[in-house]
Structure 1
Amino acid sequence: MAKPVTPAAKKPLPPAEQARIAELFARFEAAESDPRTELDYDSPFTLVVAVALSAQATDVSVNKATAKLFAVADTPQKMLALGEAGLKPFISSIGLYNTKAKNVIALSRILLEQYGGEVPLTRAALQALPGVGRKTASVVLNELRIEPAIAVDTHVFRVAHRLGLATGKTPDQVEAELMAIVPPPYLTRAHHWLILHGRYICVARRPKCEDCPVADLCPSRHLFVRD
């Protein structure tokens, strides 16, 4: 079982740094007040499946696959009836599809046998499902506004470091740091803002600083822009 992430001790930040972080997230909110996952879903079950399928795959590729899959199997009952053999052709374009098919069918069976076909919306129960690790559970709980969580993928990891929000060397360390310093009003949305910012603005090779709404608050700006 994955070890829980222990929140970093909340060391008092200098007033200027508190103001910078608050302004940074206020600008993200001004640009998009209700950010959501770009994965397509219409129920907790389809959300869990979509997020599980998205590991090491793009949201675009997952949405393309699930558009056809969820048209025929959008409940645990229908997914189990489809079976691994029936599921694989729908997701064969997604990486690790054999393992993912096995996990999706297994979790569908557990949902039917143990939870009456409903998705248990607690972290411990979610993480106990096949193919649902801490990051997947965090995405689901945060997307459904059940529990503030910041799932750290490559985008969040990169943006958190560039914006001076974290220094951790592992995703768990960065998650703990972010959870400790993001102002409470923004916690349920910070995950999406950071992912979207990394996906479209603060990209890996050549960040689009000229289009960045927080460029003047970014301690890494000098690495990419010559004033």
Structure 2
Amino acid sequence: MTKDQIFEFFRRLAEDNPSPETELEYGNCYQLVVAVALSAQATDVGVNKATRALFHEVTTPAQMIELGEDGLKEHIKTIGLFNSKAKNVIALSQLLVDEYGGEVPDTREDLVRLPGVGRKTANVVLNCWFGQETFAVDTHIFRVGNRTGLAKGKTPDHVEAKLEKRVPQPFRLGAHHWLILHGRYVCKARTPECWRCKVADLCSYRKKVLEKPKGR
């Protein structure tokens, strides 16, 4: 995509959804960290179902530690990899209490020190809570970046670097939300719904599905 095409790409997505947000449910920064850590290889819908009761009971790292690993597992046992995720959440909570006074740090370097928190999770927290212009490349953004020609790369880090370089203002803060939602609901993995895509004419994908399949 050219610079003009990229600007128009995001302009249309922004026009359609002026205030994009994560679909994960949370009440504070700590709960956001936990929710994003739990969302690896799981759907936001599944995580939200598991965390509604949990977050009513637990709002701080200290409360999570008090709940304990077994108690946490009872809440999140419907989520994939819940055993290892529970272990990580208790460990990250302990680290927050021991080294950060129970507060979530606002730098990527500190966030990725937390067990179960990688670069993608850190970027989500920095963007959603701290308002930093980060690009959290999940499977949806990786696919959309490569498929459309917006940001081609062989790894999520490569795609992130391309987005960092190419996404213009005033779209940088909301860009990763627009891309995730576009990949989740329109530019789907198996069959992209190009027939209802607002940016199809800007996209370089050669196998566009321009007619709605029968039965849909």
Q: Does TM-score exceed 0.5, indicating one fold?
A: yes
Q: What are structure 2's unaligned runs of at least 5 residues?
A: 212-216
Q: C-alpha displacement at 1:145, in angstroms? A: 4.2
Count residues in correspondence: 211
Aligned to 1:73: 58
Q: C-alpha displacement at 1:225, in angstroms? A: 2.7
CA distance in 2, matches of 1:67, 1:162: 35
CA distance in 2, matches of 1:195, 1:186: 14
Aligned-residue sequence identity (percent) comes to 58
2:113 is aligned with 1:117: no
Q: C-alpha displacement at 1:33, in angstroms? A: 1.3
Equivalences for 1:1-227 in 2 at 5 Å? 17-220=2-205, 222-225=207-210
Q: Provide Cα deviations, 1:141-173, integer angstroms capped at 9, x if missing partner.
A: 011243211111111011111211122111111
CA distance in 2, matches of 1:168, 1:161: 7
Q: C-alpha displacement at 1:222, in angstroms? A: 4.9
- The question of whether the paired residues in 2 share the 8 Å contact of 1:135 and 1:152 is answered with yes
Q: Provide Cα deviations, 1:91-125, integer angstroms capped at 9, x if missing partner.
A: 11111111111111111111112222111111111
CA distance in 1, matches of 2:118, 2:190: 29
CA distance in 2, matches of 1:118, 1:222: 48
Task: Look up the SS of the partner of 2:172 in the other structure.
Answer: helix
CA distance in 1, matches of 2:58, 2:27: 12
| 2:99 partner letter | Q
CA distance in 1, matches of 2:207, 2:69: 51
CA distance in 2, matches of 1:158, 1:54: 18
- The question of whether the paired residues in 1 share the 8 Å contact of 2:37 and 2:121 is answered with yes
- The question of whether the paired residues in 1 share the 8 Å contact of 2:148 and 2:203 is answered with yes
- The question of whether the paired residues in 2 share the 8 Å contact of 1:215 and 1:221 is answered with no
Q: C-alpha displacement at 1:216, in angstroms? A: 1.5
CA distance in 1, matches of 2:130, 2:204: 31
Q: What are structure 1's unaligned runs of at least 5 residues?
A: 1-15
| 1:153 partner letter | D
Consecutive aligned runs of 4 or more in structure 1 exceeding 4 Å deviation: none
Task: Look up the SS of the partner of 1:79 in the other structure.
Answer: helix
CA distance in 2, matches of 1:129, 1:154: 22
